[in-house]
Structure formats: structure tokens, C-alpha cells
Structure 1
Amino acid sequence: MTTPQDGSRHGVLQHAAAASPSAEATGQSSVVDKYLIPRAFTVRMSEHESVRAYEVGPPDVPVVIGIHGTPSSGVNETFKYVATSPVFCRLVTFDRQGYGGSTPRPGRKVSDIAPIVEAVLNHLSLDVAAVYGVSGGGPHALAAAALLPDRISRVASLGGIGPNFGPGFDYMDGQIPLARQEMLAARSDPDALREFYRRYIVTMEVPDVEKEWFSQNDLRVSRFMREVMAPVKKKIEQQLSLHEAEFSQEDAYVDDFQSFASPWGFELGSIKVPVRFFHGLADIMVPPRHSEWLQSQISNAGLELFPNIGHTLSQIMSHVFAWLVGETSCRGLRRVTS
């Protein structure tokens, strides 16, 4: 459920800055300063647990919450927003438990994402927001919609995975060999997952391993990211003053896949808000039938399939954002002023 670090519009920070007078020349903030420089903040969950979160975009537009994949971080979702510049919405995202700067919770369930989403909304004094999840974040976005029906307006799953087992669905059916091994390890024990992580996840960008996970288009996007967009991503990380991850990504990955192999902790059929599944037809990591089956379990769900696109869906992010805020307005936001 890993994605190469992705983006789609090169040089967006440089182009935006070039198109606007400098802040020094005008006495006002540039478009980049206003809309495309993210900020990081901490949401306290308890005395011993906290979540590191990020936001980017205009302050007076509908909010979308983004949930990253496995393994990844909220920074990658922030980067995709900057790269595609959908400034008709504001993105709020966070590091899931154990990733980046968020406190681990061993033994967590997919459904444990709901209190985090709720705490982020409360921290920002927001009544409601749309939510999306990428790959392994897909089930988490669905959990938020199922368990927070009054706080989530719409939900999208992008290349999201199906459950370990479901009526008429077997996770293993049609999977590439590495994805089958991954779930078999998750069904076995943590040590098997750790061995898989060390052999096949940390080496994902090694050419011989990379081509076993990703479609040709995914590989093109990955090369584009490494060769063209890397300076933009580095600049964002500098703006956020991020350092090395505070916790073990390996541990977070193990926790993730054990939660995927277990019951998710909510019923898909309980989701009543509008749902849409987005999936690339060339996705070899998570076959499109995952989204097709998930759609069949939710009464108010739609499905969009994209030819030539694989597991990396950065090329359609503006389209996804536009659907997520399609029927929301600024009047739906509540803000508290000091």
C-alpha cells in the first residue's frame, strides 16, 4: 500500500512566485505566502499521545482532510496539494499513529482513526469537512465517514484497499506476488511483517524491486518526482522545520498491516454520506476490483476508473478535491476567534 512520492505540476512554487510581485515590493503577502506555504501544528490526544498535523491553502474555503497511505506521512499529502494548487479548498492532513511526529499506538484498529479526525476538526474549530484516503489510508477515510456521520460531508478513497476478507471478496485474489506475500505476513505474525518490510519496503526504489510493485506510469511519476519535484518537496520540509521522523516507520507499518488483516471496526453499509472511489485501471499493487467491491457494499457510493493510471493518482488530485467540496460552501465552516 506504499506509493512513490508523487506530484504533478513541476515548478509550482517558482511559477507562482514569478507571477506575483514580491512581498517586499508590494507590502503584501504573495500568493505563495497566502496559499501554498504549509504550517505544522500539534493536536494533543491525551497526556501521553499527540498527533502532528499540517494545513495549507486559503483560510476562507471549504476544508478537506487527507489521510496518507502505508507507509507515508501527512507531508506527502501536503506536497500533492502544493503541486496541484487546488486553491478552491484548504487541505488539513496529519501523520497517522506511529508515522512522522505522531505517537504510536500498537494494536490499533482502522476505526481508531475516527477520534483523531474528530480531534483535528475540534482543534481547528470546524463543524464538518470532507475526507479522503490514499491506498492504505482508504479504509481510514471510510472509517471516519462511518463513525463521524455528523462531521464528515463526503468521503473519497483513492486506490484504497479492501478488507482481509468480505462476502464475495478475497484480498488475495488477483494480487501480484509481493502483495500476496505482504498480506500473508500480516496474517502470520509481526516478525514476518518486519522481515517483509526490510526486504521489500525499504528497497522499493531499487529498480528490480520497484518494477514488481508499480505500473509503468507509476514509475514515470516516481522518476519525475525524484528528478524534477525534489527541490519543491525539500523546500516544503524546510518550511515546516521537519527533521527525522520521531518514531519507527517499521513499527508503524507493522501496526498498519496487522490492522488491515483484522476486522476494521465499522460496517461499510453504515456510511450514509456521499462516497466516491477513484482507481487506476493500470494499478497492479491494489487491483481495481478492491474499489469495485467496496462500492458494492455502500449504498451511496460511486466509482471512477482511469485508464493508463496506476496506483499513483497525483494526476487527478484536483479532480478529487473538486468532487469532495462540490456541495460545500464557506457558510458550512465554523471558526472561533480569540
Structure 2
Amino acid sequence: MGARTHTRAVTTTSRTLTLPDGRVLRAHASDAPPDAPVVVWHHGTPQSGALLEPVLAAARPRGLRVVSYARPSYGGSSPAPGRDVASAAGDVAAVLDAFDVPRAAHVGASGGGPHALACAALLPDRTTAVVSIAGLAPFDPDFDWAAGMASDAALRAASAGRGARARVDDDGVAGFVDADWHVLDGPWAALGADAGPAGAAWPDGAVDDDVAYASPWGFSPRDVRAPVLLVHGGLDGVVPSTHSRRLLGLLPDAQLWERPHDGHVSVLRALPVALDWLIDTLGD
């Protein structure tokens, strides 16, 4: 089942996939030549999983094809209560198969970062490289996970289980800085236009995401053998940059770009140069 739309000369294809366990996933891909390198975009919390114009705009001139999907309970994908971060790998493998993609790079923003790393750890033969932008590190008693967060109520509740998290109402914007609002009013307006309705329409997606972040992930970042680029804003009050520094110490092959004047959303302005890094990695 598919539908085709046009986004500024980029044709996109959307499909509803039925998985062996009976769940469905809603997936999307931009059209490109058969030999175009593929980037899987892992959306943040909450979002619909649809392809966003700023992502397409960064990928288009670089000859990249973008694939995305809605995690369970978002954007037409079936719920999967109790899912862990690692479960993304099986879902993404099905998405790649549906679009005839043998290997891909993974780019995750915010909550998409852990899911991108899961694919690298658990689909090593199908992963070329990873970019994590403002991504989370694993919940670990040896790491002060909540330090620097403007509001940690939702994630702290999530560590106590799904029921506790469901009782917390958190709009997720307490840690935004002026630079974040500026890009949401400008080049990344599509992100805000997607995230607001997604949070209202699919609150269970955000609950299950948060529980997955604050629970054992089902893999270790030490299992990721692909090269990883970590990008983080120094003013990020949603997911502080200490998370990327923590990941830097856990990942076998990683580098960190810190952007001191960026917050949680404005750091997405680094996406074009991060994609350049991916392309350079493919040439190594």
C-alpha cells in the first residue's frame, strides 16, 4: 500500500508494511537513483515519522536518498508497549527490505539517536555510519543522566515504568533556548508543525519512547563498530551535551562536534555538514 507526493521536486513514497508479528509500520522514502547512498532518518519524540523538508533539503543536493518510518504508536504504526530501543533494528530491517536497500547510514535526532545506534549495533552488515544529533546516552547509575536537564520529570517517571510515565504531562520544551525558537520559526518550522500534532495524536508513542530511553536498551554502545559522529549543542537543556560526551567514551569509533551556541533544536542546523561527514566516511 503506497502513496506518492511531491516535495519541492522530490518525489516521496509512503508504504504501510505488515510485519510477521502482525504489527504495521508506516514508512517513507524519497526517490533517487538505484545507486544513491541511503540515509535512514530516526525521528525524535514526539514526531510522525514523515519525511521533513529540512532533511530532504539537506540530502537532495548531496545525492542522498532518505528513508524514515514511524516508531510504534506514531504516525500509523501499531503500538508495541514494552518495546526497548533495540527493537528498532528489526523494524528498520523490514523497512530497508521494503525499499530494496541493502545498506544504509543512520541519522538520529534527539530520541532518534539511540535508535540509530541500535541499528548500527544490531545490523552491522547493513550499516555504513551513524550520526547522532542531540542524542541520549544510556540510563546508567554511574552517570548523572538528568544533570543539566531543565525538566527531567517525564524521564525520571519513565524509569519507574510505563504507568508512572503515563501520569506525567510534559510538553518537552522547558529546555528550549532562544536559538531553538528562532529555527522553529524559520528553517525547521516543519519540525514544530509535525511534533505538536504528533504529541497530541499519539501520546503513547512518547510514553513508550521515554520508558525505552530510561530502561536497558537491549544493546551496548560498545557494540557499535561503524564510525559515529556525535553532534550536540552546548546550550541544550533538554538533553545536555554530557550525554554525547558519555557516548564518546563508550563508542569504539566516534568523534564529537560540540556547538557551544546551539540548543536542542538549533543544533539541527549542523545537519548539512553532518551529511558531508557521512559522504566522506563512505569514501574511506
Q: TM tier, shorter chain?
A: 0.7 to 0.9
For residue 307 of structure 1, what is the amino acid of its counterpart? P
Contact 2:135–2:244 (8 Å) recurs in 1: yes
Q: How many angstroms does 1:79 deviate by?
A: 2.3
Distance 1:302 1:233, change over 3 A: closer
Aligned-residue offset at 1:188: 2.7
1:106 CA drift (Å): 0.6
Contact residue 7 and residue 53 of structure 2 kept, 8 A: no
How far residue 174 of structure 1 moved from its aligned partner, in angstroms, is 2.6
Deviations for 1:236-288, whole angstroms, at most 9, x for unmatched residues? x9xxxxxx97x951111111111112100001111111111011112111110
Say whether the 8 Å CA contact 1:98–1:105 is kept in structure 2: yes
The match for 1:287 is 240
1:310 is aligned to 2:263: yes
- The answer to which structure has the higher strand fraction is 2
**Distance across 1 between alignment mates of 2:192 and 2:175:** 23
Q: Which amino acid aligns with 1:163?
A: P
Match of 1:149 in 2: 124
- Opposite residue 326 of structure 1, the aligned amino acid is D
For residues 81-110 of structure 1, give each alpha carbon's deviation from its aligned partner in whole angstroms, at most 9, with x where no partner exists: 234353321110111111001111011010
Q: What is the one-letter code of the residue matched to 2:177? A: S
Q: How does 1:61-100 map to 2 (within 5 A)?
A: 61-75=36-50, 77-84=51-58, 86-87=60-61, 88-100=63-75
* Pair 1:257-2:231 in alignment: no
Larger radius of gyration: 1
Q: Select 1:218's aligned residue among 164, 172, 180.
A: 180
Over the residues paired in the alignment, what is the CA RMSD in angstroms? 2.6
| TM-score normalised per structure 2 | 0.87
Aligned amino acid, residue 215 of structure 1: V
Q: Note the C-alpha offset of 1:219.
A: 1.2
CA distance in 1, matches of 2:59, 2:223: 33
Indicate whether 1:321 and 2:275 are aligned. yes
Structure 1 residues not aligned, in runs of 5+: 1-29, 205-209, 238-243, 330-338
Whether the 8 Å contact between 1:57 and 1:89 is mirrored in structure 2 is no
The structure in which a higher percent of residues are helix is 1
Shift of the 47–293 alpha-carbon distance from structure 1 to 2, 3 Å rule, reads closer
8 Å contact 1:164–1:262 — kept in the other structure? yes
Q: Distance in 1 between matches of 2:83 and 2:72?
A: 9
Change (3 A) 1:311 1:57: farther
Q: How many Å separate the matches in 1 of 2:71 and 2:263?
A: 24
Partner of 1:107: 82
Partners of 2:20 and 2:97 lie apart in 1 by 14
Contact 2:59–2:65 at 8 Å: present in 1 too?
no
Give the aligned partner of residue 333 of structure 1: none
Q: Deviations over 1:147-171 (max 9, x none)?
A: 01100000111100112215x4121
Instruction: Look up the SS of the partner of 2:14 in the other structure.
Output: strand
The answer for the alignment partner of 1:43 in structure 2 is: 17
Paired residues for 1:52-67 under 5 Å = 52-59=26-33, 60-67=35-42
One-letter amino acid of the structure 2 residue matched with residue 134 of structure 1: A
**2:108 is equivalent to residue 133 of structure 1:** yes
Q: Does residue 175 in structure 1 map to residue 175 in structure 2?
A: no
For residue 57 of structure 1, report the CA deviation from its aligned partner: 4.8
SS at match of 1:142: helix
CA distance, structure 2, for counterparts of residue 297 and residue 189 of structure 1: 26
Report Cα offsets for 1:151-202 as digits up to 9, x if no partner.
0000111100112215x412122322x2x212221123434322323xx32x
Once residues 297 and 80 of structure 1 are traced to their aligned partners in structure 2, the CA distance between those partners, rounded to angstroms, is: 30
8 Å contact from structure 1 (residues 54, 78) kept in 2: no
Contact kept, 8 Å, 2:59 with 2:275, in 1: the verdict is: no
Question: Which is bigger in relative contact order (C-alpha 8 A, separation at least 6)?
Answer: 1
Using the alignment, how far apart are the partners of 1:215 and 1:233 within structure 2?
14
In 2, the alpha carbon distance for the partners of 1:222 and 1:169 equals 31
Q: CA deviation at 1:39?
A: 2.1
Q: CA contact under 8 A between 1:130 and 1:325: conserved in structure 2? A: no
The alignment status of 1:158 with 2:133, answered yes or no, reads: yes
CA contact (8 A) 1:142 1:155 kept: yes
* Mapped partners of 2:158, 2:192: distance in 1: 32
